[in-house]
């Protein structure tokens, strides 16, 4: 009896649900979008509330967005790349690794056939950022934020040491570092003259290696190219900072090292490759330090003054329910006006040239430096799915071991480079071998 | 009636068994399976997960870093367990005595237990930071050292010991001590007072009372405590990973951290599973040893 009653109710209910669903799809599509927060979380969510609402008014497409906390972002994307629950489109990063892990089943979807929807991509965006959305001749999305790392220095310490301008090249780094390092009688160092970067040996090495004229691998990602003079030059320079000139801390690559706190507390005078979020943080959290810090272009190495750069991008995921709707959303997001709003709200440097030359990015000297540094931006990503493993900030990773053992451990550079070349080639083969 | 009673018991147990099975047993078996196949995230889409036998175990035991982590893990566990039990015995005696303010002292001793290991790690990273450590300031003010100690970064070694390893062990002991103290304190309170009175009549000294009355009475509890601490020590992760990441120069790296690095930094879930398999064998050995001794005792 009960079953009959339920069946009687079930029929009309299903009909109502089906009608509702068809009405909904007739009115517009629904897509899901995941993003990681930048800047203030509440402001970021407010912005996306506004953007999704405006987009729905314009196109009838509803975007259900979800903010993924950075603390779980890596595991989330790793799961997505292995077939876990995925959105239709998203704000992503590390294209090469997640593409490699997902293969042709999961992870980022190439959208090369839609590339002409952005006819002026090369003119509108910085070259370094565009490298992060291309892999194996395919186009994967639009870069929307860029992690560019200029040099940051304490103007008060430089003035105190009688230095007029920050170091413009490697020689001046050493000169000024010596003048700025403060060593106490008991051997304690109360201020290091120069910190080359952060506590990630791979990220720290890269700009110096590029500045010496090196590249990590061949353009097709199959051949390691680190056994060269440029690598020896870069490693020797970094090794000397620690062991010969003693202007950089031998603890700089340890987990407990915190370059931002060191800089704020005055324990470091110059940071050669500082996080792009630092200036925004300084403005917001350390108003008492206003006027004591400034940005400058990365000092020139033997070949150039390349800067570490990494871009986050908007892309589409394999298995997306409606790729066309996602492309519409990406086009909306990547318009100059929207990217301007996003950059202003988040404080993140934009890979769009027009945004970086707008009033917002030219009203302070540090912002102008940030925009200028983007012209020297060199992508930190490389065309192999194994790149993030090679450059992992953990002992055992090829680049970590190379840099740590030579720069901190004082190991023989020639032998270390030869060994690293062989290990790196084996890793590249692992990602590309046909079995 | 008996059948209904059993059914009821199984029904009551079912939720716990299902959760243990789904979140404990199944992942463990799946992880063991992964240790016998190639499970390389960068190759899985193309080549799947072919069976490789013991290759992953051969690979991890062929890695000098892993061998060092095995040694470090054993050293770390032995030091942490010995110190925890030693201080636990001492502190529990203090907490068992009767004196004004005992409740406050008991609460103070328990405080580190309320601090999650991740938070404890962050606190101690600051306390032991070379340039900002208040411990260094204090030691210098007292004239015990002349320059800063590099608690977490000094790569000098004395045999298998290093300052970072000792520092990490100290943090582990600080965090785990209340657990041991409460365990031992509960056991102390169950020792009949008459045993101590009899010992006093026999003229036993304080040490003799501890050695001949307290320690034998605590033996069953200490066996459980040691087993739990050893298992916890062998599988320890957070403090080492957060405070040093295994550095400097692999001196504080332990097996669980090695396993994590293989999986989430190098995408080698097969090697990570093999390393975890070794942890499982070691903890399994300790558990079997303990269960066997318990079984013998009940016979």
Give the CA-trace dihedral at B31, B37, B40, B43, to 10 degrees. Answer: -140
Q: Answer yes or no: do A43 and A86 share one domain.
A: yes
Domain that holds residue A47: 31-148+309-379
Q: Is B44 within 8 Å of A101 when comparing Cβ atoms?
A: yes
| Maximum alpha-carbon separation in chain A | 95
Would you state the pLDDT for residue A148? 93
Q: What's the rounded Cα separation, in Å, for the pair A235 and B278?
A: 37
Would you state the pLDDT for residue A243? 97
The closest CB to that of B265, out of A103, A392, A431, belongs to A392
CATH of the domain at A124: 3.40.190.10
* pLDDT band at residue A14 under the 50/70/90 scheme: very low
Q: Which residues between 212 and 271 in chain A have a beta carbon less than 8 angstroms from any beta carbon of chain B? A: 250-251, 253-256, 261-262, 265, 267
| Residues of chain A neighbouring B65 (CB-CB closer than 8 A) | 395-396
Alpha carbon of B253: minimum distance to chain A alpha carbons (Å): 9
Would you state the pLDDT for residue B295? 75
Q: Answer yes or no: do A291 and A396 share one domain.
A: yes
Q: Is B150 within 8 Å of A394 when comparing Cβ atoms?
A: no
| Residues of chain B neighbouring A222 (CB-CB closer than 8 A) | none
Residue B150: closest C-alpha in chain A = A251
Would you state the pLDDT for residue B298? 65
Q: Answer yes or no: do A264 and A406 share one domain.
A: yes
Q: Which of A334, A359, A379 is the last residue of a domain?
A: A379
Q: What's the rounded Cα separation, in Å, for the pair A419 and B188?
A: 58
Alpha carbon of B65: minimum distance to chain A alpha carbons (Å): 8
| Residues of chain A neighbouring B246 (CB-CB closer than 8 A) | 394-395
Q: Could you tell me if residue A3 is inside a domain?
A: no
The rounded average pLDDT for each run of 10 residues, N- to C-terminus, in chain B (299 residues) is 86 94 93 95 90 96 95 95 95 90 90 90 92 90 90 90 95 94 92 92 91 91 92 92 91 94 95 96 89 73
ipTM over 0.90: no
Q: What's the rounded Cα separation, in Å, for the pair A80 and A102?
A: 8
Q: Could you tell me if residue A80 is inside a domain?
A: yes
Q: Answer yes or no: do A113 and A67 share one domain.
A: yes
Q: What's the rounded Cα separation, in Å, for the pair A333 and A349?
A: 15
Would you state the pLDDT for residue A24? 45
CB atoms within 10 A of CB B112: 17
A318-347 mean pLDDT: 95
CATH class as words, domain B64-298: mainly alpha
Q: Is B47 within 8 Å of A256 when comparing Cβ atoms?
A: no
Indicate which of A100, A103, A387, A395 best probes the interface with B, i.e. most B CBs within 10 Å of its own CB.
A395
Q: Answer yes or no: do A133 and A166 share one domain.
A: no
Q: Is B125 within 8 Å of A254 when comparing Cβ atoms?
A: no
| Residues of chain A neighbouring B245 (CB-CB closer than 8 A) | 254-255, 393-395
Q: Answer yes or no: do A231 and A324 share one domain.
A: no
A336-353 mean pLDDT: 95
Q: Is A430 within 8 Å of B132 when comparing Cβ atoms?
A: no
Would you state the pLDDT for residue A322? 94
Whether the CB of A286 is below 8 Å from some CB of chain B: the reply is no
Alpha carbon of B38: minimum distance to chain A alpha carbons (Å): 12
Would you state the pLDDT for residue A88? 97
Tell me: pLDDT of A6 over 80. Answer: no
Domain boundaries, chain B: 1-27, 64-298
Q: Could you tell me if residue A6 is inside a domain?
A: no
The closest CB to that of A254, out of B147, B244, B261, belongs to B244
What percent of chain A has a predicted confidence (pLDDT) above 90?
Answer: 82
Is the Cα torsion angle B227, B228, B230, B235 positive or negative in sign?
A: positive
End-to-end CA distance of chain A: 62
Whether the CB of A397 is below 8 Å from some CB of chain B: the reply is yes
Q: Is B45 within 8 Å of A105 when comparing Cβ atoms?
A: yes
Q: What's the rounded Cα separation, in Å, for the pair A264 and B298?
A: 63
Q: Is A255 within 8 Å of B242 when comparing Cβ atoms?
A: yes
Alpha carbon of A250: minimum distance to chain B alpha carbons (Å): 9
Q: Which residues between 267 and 286 in chain B have a beta carbon less than 8 angstroms from any beta carbon of chain A? A: 267
Alpha carbon of B85: minimum distance to chain A alpha carbons (Å): 29
Q: Which of A363, A379, A395 is the last residue of a domain?
A: A379
Would you state the pLDDT for residue B45? 85
Cross-strand bridge partners of residue B279? none
* pLDDT band at residue A353 under the 50/70/90 scheme: very high
Give A8: exposed, middle or buried? Use CB within 10 Å, 0-12, 13-18, 19+.
exposed
Whether the CB of B47 is below 8 Å from some CB of chain A: the reply is yes
Whether the CB of A411 is below 8 Å from some CB of chain B: the reply is no
Q: Answer yes or no: do A249 and A126 share one domain.
A: no
| Residues of chain B neighbouring A101 (CB-CB closer than 8 A) | 41-42, 44-45, 267
Q: Answer yes or no: do A337 and A288 share one domain.
A: no
Alpha carbon of A31: minimum distance to chain B alpha carbons (Å): 26
Q: SS in 3 state form for chain B?
A: CHHHHHHHHHHHHHHHHHHHHHHHHHHHHHHHHHCCECCEHHHHHHHCCCECCCHHHHHHHCCHHHHHHHHHHHHHHHHHHHHHHHHHHHHHHHHHCCCCCHHHHHHHHHHHHHCCHHHHHHHHHHHCCCCCCHHHHHHHHCCCCCCCCCCCCCCCEECCEEHHHHHHHHHHHHHHHHHHHHHHHHHHHCCCHHHHHHHHHCCCCHHHHHHHHHHHHHHHHHHHHHHHHHHHHHCCCHHHHHHCCCCCCCCCCCHHHHHHHHHHHCCEHHHHHHHHHHHHHHHHHHHHHHHHHHHHHHC
Q: Answer yes or no: do A174 and A272 share one domain.
A: yes
Would you state the pLDDT for residue A432? 83
| A139-169 pLDDT per residue, tens | 999 999 999 999 999 999 999 999 999 999 9
Whether the CB of A101 is below 8 Å from some CB of chain B: the reply is yes
Tell me: pLDDT of A20 over 80. Answer: no
Whether the CB of B42 is below 8 Å from some CB of chain A: the reply is yes
Q: Could you tell me if residue A73 is inside a domain?
A: yes
Q: What's the rounded Cα separation, in Å, for the pair B218 and A206?
A: 58
Q: Is A430 within 8 Å of B40 when comparing Cβ atoms?
A: yes
| Residues of chain B neighbouring A105 (CB-CB closer than 8 A) | 45
Would you state the pLDDT for residue A22? 44
Whether the CB of B55 is below 8 Å from some CB of chain A: the reply is no
Tell me: pLDDT of A17 over 60. Answer: no
| A26-77 pLDDT per residue, tens | 455 899 999 999 988 999 999 999 999 999 999 999 999 999 999 999 999 9
CB atoms within 10 A of CB B196: 14
A330-338 mean pLDDT: 97
* pLDDT band at residue A433 under the 50/70/90 scheme: low
Give the number of A-B residue pairs with CB atoms closer than 8 Å.
Answer: 106
Q: Is B249 within 8 Å of A404 when comparing Cβ atoms?
A: yes
Whether the CB of A183 is below 8 Å from some CB of chain B: the reply is no
| A382-418 pLDDT per residue, tens | 989 999 999 999 999 999 999 999 999 999 999 999 9
Whether the CB of B264 is below 8 Å from some CB of chain A: the reply is yes
A419-423 mean pLDDT: 98
| A214-230 pLDDT per residue, tens | 999 999 999 999 999 99
Q: Answer yes or no: do A120 and A158 share one domain.
A: no
Q: Which residues between 144 and 203 in chain B have a beta carbon less than 8 angstroms from any beta carbon of chain A? A: 146-148, 150, 152-153, 155
Residue from A254, A252, A261, A407 nearest B244 by CA:
A254
| A248-267 pLDDT per residue, tens | 999 999 998 999 999 999 99
Number of domains in chain A: 2
* pLDDT band at residue A434 under the 50/70/90 scheme: very low
Would you state the pLDDT for residue A25? 44
| A73-122 pLDDT per residue, tens | 999 999 999 999 999 999 999 999 899 889 889 999 999 999 999 999 99
Average per-residue pLDDT in chain A? 91
Would you state the pLDDT for residue A277? 86
């Amino acid at each position: 009896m009960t079953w009959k009653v339920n069946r009687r109710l079930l029929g009309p209910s299903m009909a109502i649900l089906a009608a509702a669903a068809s009405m909904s799809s007739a009115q517009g599509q629904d897509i899901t979008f995941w993003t990681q927060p930048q800047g203030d979380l509440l402001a970021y969510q407010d912005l996306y509330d506004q953007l999704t609402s405006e987009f729905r008014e314009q196109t009838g497409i509803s975007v259900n967005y979800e903010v993924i906390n950075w603390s779980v972002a890596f595991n989330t994307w790793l799961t997505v790349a292995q077939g876990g629950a995925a959105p239709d489109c998203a704000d992503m990063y590390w294209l090469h690794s997640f593409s490699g892990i997902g293969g042709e089943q999961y992870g980022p979807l190439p959208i090369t056939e839609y590339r002409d929807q952005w006819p002026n991509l090369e003119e509108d965006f910085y070259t370094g950022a565009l490298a992060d959305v291309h892999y194996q001749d395919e186009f994967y999305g639009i870069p929307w934020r860029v992690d560019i790392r200029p040099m940051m220095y304490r103007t008060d310490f430089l003035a105190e040491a009688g230095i007029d301008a920050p170091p413009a090249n490697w020689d001046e780094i050493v000169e000024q570092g010596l003048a700025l390092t403060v060593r106490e009688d008991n051997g304690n160092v109360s201020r290091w003259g120069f910190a080359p970067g952060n506590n990630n040996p791979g990220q720290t090495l890269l700009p110096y290696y590029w500045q010496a004229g090196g590249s990590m691998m061949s353009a097709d990602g199959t051949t390691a190219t680190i056994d060269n003079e440029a690598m020896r030059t870069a490693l020797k320079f970094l090794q000397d900072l620690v062991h010969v000139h003693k202007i950089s801390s031998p603890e700089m690559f340890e987990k407990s090292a915190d370059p931002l706190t060191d800089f704020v507390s005055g324990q470091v005078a110059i940071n050669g490759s500082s996080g792009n979020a630092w200036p925004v943080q300084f403005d917001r959290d350390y108003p008492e330090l206003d006027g004591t810090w400034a940005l400058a272009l990365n000092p020139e190495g033997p070949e150039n003054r390349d800067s570490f750069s990494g871009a986050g991008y908007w892309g589409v995921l394999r298995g997306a329910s409606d790729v066309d709707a996602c492309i519409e959303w990406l086009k909306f997001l990547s318009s100059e006006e929207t990217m301007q709003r996003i950059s202003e709200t988040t404080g993140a440097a934009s890979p769009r040239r027009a945004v970086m030359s707008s009033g917002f990015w030219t009203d302070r000297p540090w912002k102008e430096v940030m925009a200028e540094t983007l012209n020297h931006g060199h992508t930190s990503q490389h065309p192999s799915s194994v790149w993030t493993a090679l450059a992992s900030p953990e002992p055992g990773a090829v680049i970590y071991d190379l840099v740590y053992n030579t720069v901190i451990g004082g190991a023989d550079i020639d032998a270390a480079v030869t060994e690293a070349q062989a290990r790196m080639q084996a890793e590249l083969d692992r990602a590309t071998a046909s079995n | 009636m008996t059948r209904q009673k059993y059914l009821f018991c199984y029904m009551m147990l079912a939720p716990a068994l299902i959760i243990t099975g789904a979140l404990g047993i199944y992942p463990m078996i799946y992880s063991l399976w992964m240790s016998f196949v190639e499970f390389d995230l960068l190759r899985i889409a193309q080549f799947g997960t072919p069976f490789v036998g013991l290759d992953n175990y051969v690979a991890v035991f062929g890695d000098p870093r892993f061998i060092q982590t095995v040694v470090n893990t054993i050293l770390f566990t032995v030091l942490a367990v010995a110190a925890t039990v030693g201080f636990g015995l001492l502190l529990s005696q203090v907490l068992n005595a009767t004196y004004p303010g005992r409740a406050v002292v008991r609460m103070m001793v328990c405080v580190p237990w309320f601090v999650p290991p991740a938070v404890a790690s962050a606190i101690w990273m600051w306390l032991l930071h070379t340039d900002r450590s208040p411990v260094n300031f204090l030691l210098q003010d007292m004239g015990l050292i002349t320059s800063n100690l590099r608690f977490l970064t000094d790569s000098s070694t004395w045999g298998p010991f290093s300052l970072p390893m000792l520092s990490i062990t100290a943090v582990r002991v600080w965090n785990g001590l209340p657990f041991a103290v409460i365990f031992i304190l509960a056991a102390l309170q169950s020792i009949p007072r008459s045993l101590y009175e009899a010992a006093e009549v026999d003229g036993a000294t304080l040490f003799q009372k501890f050695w001949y009355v307290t320690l034998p009475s605590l033996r069953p509890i200490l066996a459980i405590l040691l087993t739990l601490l050893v298992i916890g020590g062998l599988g320890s992760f957070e403090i080492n990973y957060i405070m040093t990441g295994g550095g400097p120069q692999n001196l504080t790296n332990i097996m669980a951290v090695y396993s994590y690095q293989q999986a989430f930094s190098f995408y080698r879930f097969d090697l990570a599973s093999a390393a975890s398999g070794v942890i499982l064998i070691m903890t399994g050995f300790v558990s079997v040893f303990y269960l066997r001794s318990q079984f013998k005792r009940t016979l």
